[in-house]
Each structure stands twice: as C-alpha cells, then as structure tokens.
Amino acid sequence: MISEAERIEALEAAQKLVDCLSEDSESARSESTRVQALQAANALTRSLERPEDGLIKFAYSPTIWMAIRTCVHMNVFNILVEKETTSAREVAEKAGADEIIIRRLLRVITSYGYAVEKGDGLYGINEWTKHMQNRLTQGMITYIFDHSMPAIAAAPEWFKENGFQNPTDPRNGPFQKAFGTNIPIFQWLALPENKERWDAANTFFEGDRGNRPSWVTWFPVQDELLSGKIDDQAPLLVDVAGGRGHDLLEFINQFPCVKGKYVLQDLQKVLDSATNLPAAVEKRAIDFFNESPVKGAKIYYMKFILHDYADPEALHILKNVISSMEKGYSYLVINDFILPDTGCPLIAAEWDLMMLTLMSAMERTESQWRSLFYAAGLSIKGLYQPPGDGQGIIVVAL
C-alpha cells in the first residue's frame, strides 16, 4: 500500500508535470519547458517506485545494452525498418541467426519500447527503431558499449587497487585495467589492429551532441565573435581536433555570407575520413600535444576536447593553442559541459564518470574551468548555457 507521504510526493510531482505542460504558448513549448517536464516526470516515477524494485531494475539494466549491441551486430534494426511488420523468422533468416535468440533479444527491445510487438513473433517499428538504425546512433552504440562497458566493470577493482583515488594519469585508469594496456585510449584506438574501433569512435563523435541544438543556432556568434575587425587573409575559424568537420560545416551553413578561411585540424587518419567538406575548408594534420594550430585565426574552436584530459594535459594543449592566438583579436571557444556545484543533471554526471573510466579525465564545474584558464593565462569573456543537460559555451581570450 502506498503511504500518505508517498501519495503526497507523487501528487506534487504530478502537479508540477501538469503545470509544465498546461500553458498553451510558445514559451510552454520551449526546450526549457520540455526539460522541466522531463525532470518532473522522472520525479513522479521515482516517487512511485519502491527502492527494492528500482534497484532490481538497475541491476538487470545492462541486459538492454547487450540486446541493443547484439541487434546492431546482426543488423536487426535495419531489417525491421524495411517494412511495417516483420516476423522473427524473417529477421533470423536475414541476420543469419537463430530465431529463438531473435525472439529473446526482441522481447527486451520491445519491453523498453525500442520496437513494437504486433503479435506472437511479429514486430513493428516506431521512432526509436528508426533512430536505432541511424549510422551515427550505431556508431555511438558500438563505441560506448565496446569500450566503456569493460572499463566500467573494471573500475571498482581499479579504485580498490589504487586507494580509491581520482584517476588523472591517462596511462593508468579503469580503461587500461580492462584492456590490459598502458596506452591512453585514443592512441590505443589509433593502432592498426583497432581500425574498426577507431571508425566507430569517429562516427560517434559526429553525432555525440544528440538532439541538442548546435551552438551556432543559440549563441550570439555575430555579436560576440564577428562584430570586430576580420582579417580576410587569416583563417576565420580553426576547428582544433574537429573530427570529420561536422561542427565546422554547421558554422559555415549558419553564416554563409561571412567571408573567411576555414581550417579543420586533427590527426591525418581522421582527416582522411572527412570526405564531405566544401572547398572552403582546408584540412591540416595536427598533434595538439606537440604542435600549435594554424596561427592568427579569429576563432579557435574546441568541442569535447579538454574534458578528455586531466589538468596537466589540458594545460599542455591550451598553451599550444595560446601560442597561435593573437592578443586583442583571437578567441578560443570551448564547447563542453559546465557542471553546476549542486543539482547536476544526470546525463552530465554520467558523462563525467564516462570521462573518468575511459580517459582518467573529468567534466568541470565553472570554478574548475576558471582555475584551468587562469593557470593557462587566459581570460574568460563569458560562460553561456542554454536550457538542457549542462553543456555550454565558454569564450576565452589572451
């Protein structure tokens, strides 16, 4: 029986959810309202869930990851989206699998709502199914499952062996324990024998923003970064370690009338896979630990780079960027999480632990960002965060 305290808590959470969604206005349909409503819905679920049941649910939740990853291996989601209704036998034949294992895996998939059960051994699709067969989604599933799951499993023993210290050495963390190496993850992924893993990682990095809007759609780029003088002989924007150039393309598409040169910098093998860039983008290889980016640019942009490293390595990278910046002209734009000191969104807290297990690194709070940039000799011009999960933009200068 539900207690009086639980009933009141559930009613309060339900009322907050109704309040978030009841107003019929443009502001009520904003991203901020969606986030608030989602938080209220989660609070309502938690108020009704017994701790014993909730813990069992979490204890068995890795099976959903296993089912999804296996279905990606077998191309199941791609098979399902080919038509409205597909039988387990059809999926098994096309996937080259046992029908029984298809039924068992899809029992979990449909229970979580990632596909639709339409009868005994019959399956349909929904928006989740379509999302699961997306190339970027499958890159994320492959990269995260194949690398983080072993590292997460190894983390408790690594902590015990290392006196429950915060990992800061990229050569000694849960990832290295899980994979029996003393090589940092990105160097390990770049080994020739890990080509498929490397490709999955770069595909994931193309889509790791999820459904969050690109920074160029909400940040006042024109006023904050492009209002002063622009040297048309120098690069307008250098995307440092920008992967296949997806963020650079969004900037160019958002500001097609802005004159300037664009440079994409990353490891040569990453640049070789960036095949859909316009002629305006110059590709230049860089090892940002040992080299400085192209000099004299108006904007140096780094997305999800510094969170991959503890402070010593992050300072090393920053000092190389600083050596390329022009005082009074250049800006460094950091696109990353800015964690609050209290009330941290769950996804941001989870992302922080992912950085811990894979990179021996961290997401940073505002005070930690300020300390890092102060140590590097950089001045913060502004911190900007739209409603959402805690990601934001930090603009710094010499």
235 φ, ψ (degrees, to nearest 5): -60, 140
User: What distance separates the 2 farthest-apart alpha carbons in the chain?
Assistant: 73
283 φ, ψ (degrees, to nearest 5): -100, 130
Q: What is the CA radius of gyration of the chain?
A: 23
CA distances from 96 to 71, 123, 211 (A): 12, 18, 33
Beta bridge pairs of residue 87: 122
CB proximity list for 268: less than 8 A, separation 6 or greater: 285
Cα dihedral across residues 182, 183, 189, 194: positive or negative: negative
CA quadruple 317, 389, 340, 348: dihedral, nearest 10: -60
List the catalytic residue out of 73, 147, 246, 307: 307
CB proximity list for 153: less than 8 A, separation 6 or greater: 178
Beta bridge pairs of residue 285: 266
Residue 287: left if φ>0, alpha if ψ -120 to 50, beta else—which one?
Answer: beta
**Residue 316: active-site member:** no
**What DSSP string describes 184-224?**
-HHHHHTSGGGHHHHHHHHHHHHSTTTTSPPHHHHS-HHHH
SS3 label, residue 96: coil
How many Å apart are CA 129 and CA 131, to the nearest integer? 5
Specify the residue for token string 């108006």: 298
Q: Which residues are catalytic?
A: 307
